[in-house]
């Protein structure tokens, strides 16, 4: 046993000596050792101090990580988002279905008292309004007699002509007069004033105007934040006041800022208010008066109405017009309404032109109102 142990020890000793000799033989004079990969020493990412806060210590990380020279890469050209303007025919499907659906039973029939009553009911159901409906049908009846029209296909063709006459050739352009011009936006809560302002600001900036947005709705912080988001999105100026501040002073400051910055247009938001509250409407009059005390001129007061409210929108228009002399209507959500006849009622009974309509939620879906395209879409 002792002899076996001695043999094992001798063998181990020989192996160790041989390995050392081989290692020494590989190290030749003048040989260069391979550099080691740099090591990054990271401090603990979280210190448990009994709190829920994670404390990260990154001291020395920049020195430990080797710099890497990367080739310069030219950024790829980013194509601007294409804004496609929708057509009335594409987006007024609900209004067309409601209107032509009610008229479908009249086609091919003879003109008689019963069919006239059905046509009258169809127009009123489409929110054309009683006064406007009666006035148009009186003219259609008279023309049917003069032109000897005896079937309702011919009568509906005459009705289409009368609708275009009712809408008329109203001036739908938005006036930019003053240094700067001021466009005020009014309306009840929830009709889409702030979004309308943002979309219109984008359009005007793209057309070359220098625009400032005024957050005149000082009662809702969310309204000012939403408007600021739109200002950043379309590269427009932005002025807001403290929550609960006087709306007139905010608009006034925005106008002064626009004048100093050489901006041509101020779009002023206002708080949504009930059209039947006298004190709120008086406040709106004050906002307009104060807005014009400085450098600017209020060239447009645009009433924003939700098209889906139908005749209630007509009532709003009457009250707001009495308060602030509305110059034009912005009709939102027209694509989702089966009551497109409100357009005829507003222009016929109030003489206020519908200047802009919303045909969707996209940034390019706020378009100028075109009477001929509107009527064509209803009868398509």
CA 348 distance to own-chain centroid: 29
What confidence score (pLDDT) does residue 83 get?
A: 59
Residues 296 and 193 in one domain: yes
Residue 307 lies in a domain: yes
Find out whether 358 and 330 touch, Cβ atoms under 8 Å: yes
Q: Which domain holds residue 288?
A: 181-326
Count of domains in the chain?
2
Q: How far apart are CA 137 and CA 108, in angstroms?
A: 19
What confidence score (pLDDT) does residue 1 get?
A: 56
What confidence score (pLDDT) does residue 12 get?
A: 55
Residues 119 and 230 in one domain: no
- Check which CATH number belongs to the domain holding 145 and give it: 1.20.120.140
What confidence score (pLDDT) does residue 35 get?
A: 34
Q: How far apart are CA 217 and CA 221, in angstroms?
A: 8
Residues 150 and 279 in one domain: no
Residue 349 lies in a domain: no
Q: Which residues of the chain have pLDDT under 50?
A: 23-80
Secondary structure element (H or E) that encloses residue 157, with its range: helix 152-167
Residue 94 lies in a domain: yes
Find out whether 334 and 90 touch, Cβ atoms under 8 Å: no
Secondary structure element (H or E) that encloses residue 142, with its range: helix 130-146
Residues 128 and 224 in one domain: no
Residues 201 and 248 in one domain: yes
Residues 142 and 225 in one domain: no
What confidence score (pLDDT) does residue 171 get?
A: 80
Residues 191 and 268 in one domain: yes
Residue 241 lies in a domain: yes
Residue 79 lies in a domain: no
Residues 160 and 204 in one domain: no
Residues 185 and 247 in one domain: yes
Find out whether 270 and 152 touch, Cβ atoms under 8 Å: no
What confidence score (pLDDT) does residue 242 get?
A: 87
Residues 226 and 102 in one domain: no
Dihedrals phi, psi of 303, to nearest 5 degrees:
-90, 120
3-state secondary structure (DSSP) of residue 304: strand
Burial of 67 (0-12, 13-18, 19+ CB in 10 A): exposed
Structure tokens at 80: 């601007």
- Check which CATH number belongs to the domain holding 191 and give it: 3.40.50.300
Structure tokens at 186: 């009014």
Residues 244 and 290 in one domain: yes
Summarize pLDDT for 139-184 with one digit per residue, the tens.
Answer: 999 999 999 998 888 998 999 999 998 888 778 889 888 789 999 9
What confidence score (pLDDT) does residue 13 get?
A: 61
CA 254 distance to own-chain centroid: 21
Where is the domain boundary, 121, 138, 167? 167
Residue 322 lies in a domain: yes
What confidence score (pLDDT) does residue 107 get?
A: 77
Residue 308 lies in a domain: yes
What confidence score (pLDDT) does residue 108 get?
A: 78
Smallest Cα–Cα separation from 334: which of 90, 133, 91, 125?
91
Find out whether 167 and 343 touch, Cβ atoms under 8 Å: yes
Residues 199 and 302 in one domain: yes
Residue 352 lies in a domain: no
């Amino acid at each position: 046993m002792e002899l076996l142990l001695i043999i094992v020890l001798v063998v181990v000793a020989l192996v160790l000596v041989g390995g050392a000799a081989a290692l020494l033989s590989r190290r030749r004079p003048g040989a260069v050792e391979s550099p080691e990969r740099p090591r990054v020493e990271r401090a603990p990412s979280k210190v448990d101090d009994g709190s829920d806060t994670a404390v990260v210590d990154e001291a020395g990380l920049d020195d430990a990580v080797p710099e890497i020279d990367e080739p310069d890469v030219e950024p790829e050209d980013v194509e601007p988002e294409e804004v496609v303007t929708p057509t009335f025919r594409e987006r007024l499907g609900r209004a067309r279905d409601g209107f032509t659906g009610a008229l479908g039973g009249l086609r091919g029939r003879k003109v008689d008292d019963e069919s006239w009553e059905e046509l009258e009911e169809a127009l009123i159901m489409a929110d054309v309004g009683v006064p406007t409906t009666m006035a148009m049908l009186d003219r259609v009846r008279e023309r049917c007699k003069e032109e000897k029209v005896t079937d309702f296909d011919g009568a509906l063709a005459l009705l289409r002509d009368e609708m275009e006459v009712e809408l008329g050739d109203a001036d739908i352009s938005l006036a930019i007069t003053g240094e700067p011009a001021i466009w005020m936006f009014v309306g009840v809560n929830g009709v889409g004033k702030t979004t309308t302002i943002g979309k219109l600001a984008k359009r005007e900036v793209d057309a070359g105007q220098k625009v400032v947005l005024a957050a005149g709705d000082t009662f809702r912080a969310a309204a000012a934040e939403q408007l600021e988001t739109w200002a950043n999105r379309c590269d427009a100026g932005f002025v807001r006041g403290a929550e609960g501040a006087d709306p007139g002073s905010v608009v006034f400051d925005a106008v002064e800022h626009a004048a100093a910055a050489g901006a041509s247009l101020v779009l002023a938001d206002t708080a949504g208010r009930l059209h039947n509250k006298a004190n709120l409407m008086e406040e709106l009059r004050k906002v307009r008066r104060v807005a014009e005390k400085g450098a600017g001129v209020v060239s447009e007061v645009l009433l924003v109405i939700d098209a889906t409210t139908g005749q209630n929108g007509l009532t709003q228009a009457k009250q707001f017009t009495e308060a602030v002399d509305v110059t034009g209507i912005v009709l939102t959500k027209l694509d989702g309404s089966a009551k497109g006849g409100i357009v005829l009622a507003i222009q016929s009974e109030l003489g206020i032109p519908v200047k802009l309509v919303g045909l969707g939620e996209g940034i390019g879906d706020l378009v100028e109102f075109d009477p001929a395209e509107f009527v064509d879409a209803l009868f398509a």
